[in-house]
A and B are shown apart, each in its own frame.
Chain A
Amino acid sequence: SAVISQKPSRDICQRGTSLTIQCQVDSQVTMMFWYRQQPGQSLTLIATANQGSEATYESGFVIDKFPISRPNLTFSTLTVSNMSPEDSSIYLCSVARGPLGDGYTFGSGTRLTVV
């Protein structure tokens, strides 16, 4: 299955600034998924990113706050904009392991702390 490299692994940022998280996959994939995991919580899907089209956001997440780029079939970025302490979370990307139904592979995550 695909191997995901996510950068940075962690960061501490000032409130009001933005951070861009990169997700690199070692094979071409149609869809990439971005998740947020708040402290002590489960994962919440932020959006689905397809190459060549705008990302599809889940309820409660908007493009202005979490712009996503998907320039090719192996790469995506998630930006957390105008950060506040409430954005302190782990952000993860995910891709399919294979055909539909075979499950997903996750990156190791970006641990973001906003001060």
Chain B
Amino acid sequence: DAKTTQPNSMESNEEEPVHLPCNHSTISGTDYIHWYRQLPSQGPEYVIHGLTSNVNNRMASLAIAEDRKSSTLILHRATLRDAAVYYCIPTGGFKTIFGAGTRLFVKA
């Protein structure tokens, strides 16, 4: 499994964009890049995933570096409800192995 490096925590102001970085330099060529978030007292929630191209959905955008060794989750307008731990997980198999993630604080 590819190792990931994410900031322990980040802070954002409400209604501003947030860029959450993830380094996964040991990713293999067939690994997808998944992002999940875990709100307080809840199970992890799928956010977005991609392989090579940038991806957009109703929750976020995922920008993947050309060499795939890093990616960035973009929340276009942070809200208080986006305060959570965000996990970046490269995976090519059936297992999802969680790292420590980034705790996002959103200020009103």
**A42-B101, A101-B32, A103-B34 are known contacts. Are A33 and B46 too (CB-CB below 8 A)?**
no
Contact digits for B81-98, partner A, Cβ 8 Å, 1 yes 0 no: 000010100000111111
Q: How far is the CA of A107 from the CA of B46 in the complex (A)?
A: 12
Interface SS of A by simple majority: strand
* Chain A: interface size category: 20 to 34
Report the nearest B residue to A43, measured CB to CB: B98
CB-contact partner of B46 in A43, A103, A108, under 8 A:
A103
Stretch at the interface among A65-73, A81-89, A92-100: A92-100
Q: What's the minimum C-beta distance from A7 to chain B, rounded to whole angstroms? A: 14
| Contact indicator B94/A31 (Cβ below 8 Å) | yes
| Contact indicator B43/A103 (Cβ below 8 Å) | no
Report the nearest A residue to B95, measured CB to CB: A45
13 pairs, CB–CB < 8 Å, chain A vs chain B: A1-B46, A31-B94, A42-B101, A45-B97, A94-B44, A97-B46, A101-B49, A101-B51, A103-B36, A103-B46, A104-B96, A108-B43, A109-B43
Interface, chain A (partner B; CB < 8 A): 1, 31, 33, 35, 42-45, 48, 92, 94, 96-97, 100-109
